[in-house]
Amino acid sequence: MKFGIIWNLSRTGTFEETLKSYIMGAQEAERLGFDSLFVSDHVTGRCDTWTLLSYLAAKTTSIRLGTGVTPIPRYVPTILARKIASVDQLSKGRVIAGFGAGWSPLEFRNFAPGGVYDFPRERIEKATEGLRLMIKLWTQPRNVTFRGKYYFGDASRTSAQAGAETSTASLVRGS
């Protein structure tokens, strides 16, 4: 059996104090033998979630790192795929990416492409389609052409490629 921790990124203290507590917490979780550490992906935190995970990857050696839920429709999937692949490469394959459709109207209206907060059905469709696109980017040996209902375009697989020695794990859950 494996055990992990999930953090809700808080805004207490200064940025430096908060960052120090994240590092100490991640290192202590690793020392205690926890398998994984998940952080929430909300724009209300002190730092971009995937940037923070990249930083924590540099400060730890074995604990797997991921998001409780990253709301795919709040991102451009090709850019999100590249962010996740970069963290996976920097962590030497320790990423577990949690995905969902999102739920916060405020976050979508202020940070999603076009500021759109769709009905649940459309957010779920976008999350599903976006995940299909990201998986293609991570796994296909050549450039990817994608034509979906919400996302389309041509992208270089190498721009979002997980490292040859790594494999990004994904977890899909509701949010």
Confidence band of 43 (pLDDT split at 50, 70, 90): confident
Yes or no: say if 62 and 33 are a contact pair by the CB < 8 Å rule. no
> Is 129 annotated in the active site?
no
Catalytic residue among 16, 107, 122, 129: 107
| pTM: predicted TM-score of the whole model, two decimal places | 0.87
> Is 30 annotated in the active site?
no
Domains observed in the chain? 4-172 (3.20.20.30)
| pLDDT tens, position by position, 56-68 | 999 999 999 999 8
Catalytic residue among 30, 42, 125, 129: 42
The dihedral sign for the CA sequence 125, 163, 32, 48: negative
